[in-house]
C-alpha cells in the first residue's frame, strides 16, 4: 500500500460517545495531513459524521444484510474502526478495537451484574466473530496495554497499542465547579453511586459544586431526578449540562477545579486525558485501567460510596495536597495515518 488516493473507513458500529469523537478526530487529522486524499466512510442509517468536507463520501448501510455484504467486499487502504474485522482477507488494512465489551470472555460476560441478558448475548456473539475473523485484517491495534493483553489472549497475531485523542481547548474561565464528570451515563460509568456519594456530602453539610452531563433520555430519568433532589437541598449543587459538544466539554473542564472519574470499566478514558492535558487534578477509580493511563491523583474504590465521599472530602479540604497526575500515554494518530497511507 503506497500513497493511496482514497482511504475507506468502516464505522457502521460507531454511534455516540467516545468512539464517534475518535472517528471524527481521526478523519479530520487524515484530511489535514493529506489534502489530496478522499475518504469514504461507511455508516449505519442512524449515524452521522459531524465533519463537513467535500472530500468525504458517506455510504449508508441500511439493515443487517447491507452490513454483512459490506464486510464481504474486497477492500484496499481500509481502516476497520467498528471493532469488527472483514469477512474476506484485506491485506492493506488495520482493525482498530476500542470497545472493551467486545473483548470480554464468556466468563466475564456471565459474571457482569450490570449487563442484561440481551447485552451478554450480543457481546458474546461479537467476541466470537472477532475470534474467528481477526486474522482477515492486515494488522490489529487498540488503545491501551490492558486492551492489548485482552486481545492477544484470543487473537492469533500481535496487537499494537496506538492510542489517540482530541486535543482540548484551554480557556481562561473562572472555576465555578469543584468536580466535573463528563460522560454519557451508561451503567459502567457509575453515575448512580456518584450521586449517592454527593447525597451523603449534602447530608453531612459539606458544600460542593458539580458539573455533570446526563441526557434527558428515558433511561436517565432516575439520575435526573436524583440531581433535582440534591439541588433542592441546596448544600451540594449540580449543574446538569445534558449531552454536550466538544466545545461545551472543554468549557466544563476549564470551569472545574478537578475531574471526578468513578467509571467501573474503560477501554481508554478520554475525559481523563482531556482533563489532564488542561492541568486538572484527578480523582479516579482505583482500577487497572487507571494504572495504565495515569500515575498520581486521588484513588478511591468506585464500588464504595464511603470511599468516594472520603476522596471528595480529601480534595475539598486540601486541594493543593493532591498528587499531580502524570499521563502515561501519547497520541499515536500520526502512526495510524502513516499506516493507512503505506508510510509505516
- What would the pLDDT profile of 155-171 be if each residue is shown by its tens digit? 877 899 999 888 888 99
- What would the pLDDT profile of 42-58 be if each residue is shown by its tens digit? 998 767 787 888 999 99
Cα angle 86, 90, 94; round to 5: 80
pLDDT of residue 192: 95
Mean pLDDT of 93-103: 89
Mean pLDDT of the chain: 89
Question: Computed from CA positions of residues 214, 220, 221, 224, in that sequence, does the dihedral angle turn out positive or negative?
Answer: negative
Q: What CATH class has 6-163+331-340?
A: alpha beta
pLDDT of residue 112: 82
DSSP for 250-291, written as a single string = HHHHHTBS-EEE--S--SS-HHHHHHHHTT--EEEE-SHHHH
pLDDT of residue 53: 87
pLDDT of residue 1: 44
Rounded percentage of the chain residues whose pLDDT exceeds 90: 52
User: Please, what's the largest Cα pairwise distance for the chain?
Assistant: 64
Q: For residue 338, what are the contacts with CB-CB under 8 A and spacing of at least 6? A: 344
Asked whether the domain spanning 179-327 has the same topology as the one spanning 6-163+331-340, the reply is yes
pLDDT of residue 307: 98
- CATH code of 179-327, in short, is 3.40.50.2000
pLDDT of residue 16: 65
Q: For residue 275, what are the contacts with CB-CB under 8 A and spacing of at least 6? A: 168, 180, 182, 253, 256, 259, 282
Q: Please, which pLDDT band fits residue 259 given cuts at 50, 70 and 90?
A: very high
Spell out the domain ranges in the chain: 6-163+331-340, 179-327
Q: How far apart are the first and last CA of the chain?
A: 10
- What would the pLDDT profile of 124-149 be if each residue is shown by its tens digit? 998 999 999 999 998 999 988 888 98
- What would the pLDDT profile of 300-315 be if each residue is shown by its tens digit? 999 999 999 999 999 9
Q: Where does the chain show beta strands of DSSP type E?
A: 6-10, 38-44, 56-61, 78-80, 90-96, 137-142, 159-161, 179-181, 208-212, 236-240, 259-261, 282-285, 294-295, 298-300, 326-327
Q: Please, which pLDDT band fits residue 266 given cuts at 50, 70 and 90?
A: confident
pTM of the model: 0.84
Amino acid at each position: 500500500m503506497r500513497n493511496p488516493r482514497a482511504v475507506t473507513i468502516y464505522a457502521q458500529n460507531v454511534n455516540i460517545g467516545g468512539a464517534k469523537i475518535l472517528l471524527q478526530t481521526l478523519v479530520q487529522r487524515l484530511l489535514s495531513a493529506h489534502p489530496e486524499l478522499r475518504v469514504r466512510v461507511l455508516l449505519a442509517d442512524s449515524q452521522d459524521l459531524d465533519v463537513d468536507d467535500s472530500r468525504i463520501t458517506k455510504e449508508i448501510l441500511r439493515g443487517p444484510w447491507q452490513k454483512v455484504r459490506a464486510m464481504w467486499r474486497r477492500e484496499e487502504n481500509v481502516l476497520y474502526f467498528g471493532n469488527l474485522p472483514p469477512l474476506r482477507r484485506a491485506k492493506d488494512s488495520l482493525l482498530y478495537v476500542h470497545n472493551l465489551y467486545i473483548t470480554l470472555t464468556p466468563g466475564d460476560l456471565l459474571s457482569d451484574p450490570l449487563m442484561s441478558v440481551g447485552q451478554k448475548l450480543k457481546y458474546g456473539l461479537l467476541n466470537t466473530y472477532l475470534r474467528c475473523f481477526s486474522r482477515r485484517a492486515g494488522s490489529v491495534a487498540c488503545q491501551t496495554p490492558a486492551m492489548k493483553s485482552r486481545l492477544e489472549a484470543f487473537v492469533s497475531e500481535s496487537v499494537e497499542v496506538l492510542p489517540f485523542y482530541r486535543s482540548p481547548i484551554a480557556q481562561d474561565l473562572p472555576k465555578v465547579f469543584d468536580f466535573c464528570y463528563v460522560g454519557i451515563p451508561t451503567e459502567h460509568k457509575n453515575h448512580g453511586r456518584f450521586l449517592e456519594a454527593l447525597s451523603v456530602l449534602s447530608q453531612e453539610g459539606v458544600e460542593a459544586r458539580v458539573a455533570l452531563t446526563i441526557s434527558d433520555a428515558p433511561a436517565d430519568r432516575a439520575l435526573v431526578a436524583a440531581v433535582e433532589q440534591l439541588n433542592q437541598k441546596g448544600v451540594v449543587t449540580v449543574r446538569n449540562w445534558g449531552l454536550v459538544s466538544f466545545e461545551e466539554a472543554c468549557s466544563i473542564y476549564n470551569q472545574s477545579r478537578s475531574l471526578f472519574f468513578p467509571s467501573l470499566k474503560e477501554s481508554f478514558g478520554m475525559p481523563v486525558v482531556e482533563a489532564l492535558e488542561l492541568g486538572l487534578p484527578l480523582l479516579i477509580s482505583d482500577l487497572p485501567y487507571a494504572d495504565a493511563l495515569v500515575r498520581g491523583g486521588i484513588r478511591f474504590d468506585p464500588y464504595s460510596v464511603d470511599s468516594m465521599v472520603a476522596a471528595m472530602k480529601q480534595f475539598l479540604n486540601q486541594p493543593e495536597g493532591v498528587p499531580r497526575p502524570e499521563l502515561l500515554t501519547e497520541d499515536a494518530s500520526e502512526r495510524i495515518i502513516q499506516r493507512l497511507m503505506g508510510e509505516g
